[in-house]
Structure 1
């Protein structure tokens, strides 16, 4: 009897692939930077018993309806807005993700992005590279303090909580808005629950950690930016779709808010001519929230474990 077929949509660790190959027939798209073409993905999905997917792969009704052998899609991400979960249920395909293993790494990056934006670090690096540093001056590249400021976190999942924990080390006043109040976390970290509007009005830093859903799509728009302080800094390392980028651009140009640090964008990858990149007030990163060698490797291993579990007739480790 032939082994189950596993298709991997991006080049991953050889060690993880070798582990899967002990049990299954494995094929992997060999490009690291290039998304697997849609026609290739559809063709491989028709044959596959399992797909190890990335957040750039659209696992939709078209794909699922043609994939009669498919039993599991293991998404190498916490978010799964690239997958039609309801369609997967109808076709009896298990969907898994990779939570928890990337919590601290993503929180590290989020707080780093906050600090880099507040203190204008990319500008400072370019200042030297462009040979503009002629002397010391009192307000040269002066940024914003972080310590003792108010940090507002929108979405207090595990990563949001980890960001809050880091903020306490900077003596920040942390407030949050979440669909449900988390009183135990409030007690543990000394943070305070507030309404969304109050958070926007009070925060010196607004950090978006909410997943992309029908309710949160375009959550940050002209109306919300107008409610923020004109000295506020906006940070997003969740999903690009929660932000109306045109409204963010105009808010920055008009001085409605001070700056923005972005690790995610509505349509990725963005190009060098993206309007937000024309602004010195924007620090932009290429969606590297969980990108440490250690964490990305653990995400791969977890996705592989989920595949092995499901194809062996067992419950997955982290089902959606």
Structure 2
């Protein structure tokens, strides 16, 4: 990737290896509704729906009294810097800068999924957003949602049953926000092993492996695999908790785009870095996240 001498932040171009790797690895970046952010906060309207009545000839229309509100996206920065010795840049046959940028892209893809889907704590130090898990783990009286109503935990770790998979997806299907056209499953690959052996009462597998570019499916719902979909106390690119399978609507996944992915290369011949012959590569992206309504999502804890 070409650099200029002004050392300004350079956004990755669409179709670059960094963007391609993020889209391939991050379910959230690939599937969520992308909301442009012109500042560090953005209010996104959330509709409470609208009713409909039978109106007899000559009668008055009833007025809808649904209370609309909003969700707020807060842009948080995901970044990292690395020092690279001038000798490594000059002597190495591979492009070490491009390699490190791709490595960052992989880690970013996992941490944005983890932060958006699987962190078990409320926003604070190390927790940039209210994750889907935390949203479903919290009572919201204004929305009529009770904590954990849409969270199903497998009784046997590593071996969820047919009924547990069915209950998890059913929690979304019975809600007002169910839309088969936008429904997807986001799951950690650890579920692949257990899914292969689960069959319905007719002996048919609920998991169907996609062929010729089509996605894998469960109960006919496409699955996107995510290495970030493991429970963790804070956002991390290497979560180690129990794997999650989420059933969500892409319309309710709100990903705020403030900037990036972008990078800046600070030449080791300038400033104090000249004393060590080390250049600095910095990568960052600023993102916000919110899931539109707890009734529109569910989680199976594997």
Give TM-score scaled by structure 2 length.
Answer: 0.31
Structure possessing the higher relative contact order (Cα contacts under 8 Å, 6 or more residues apart): 2
Greater strand share, structure number: 2
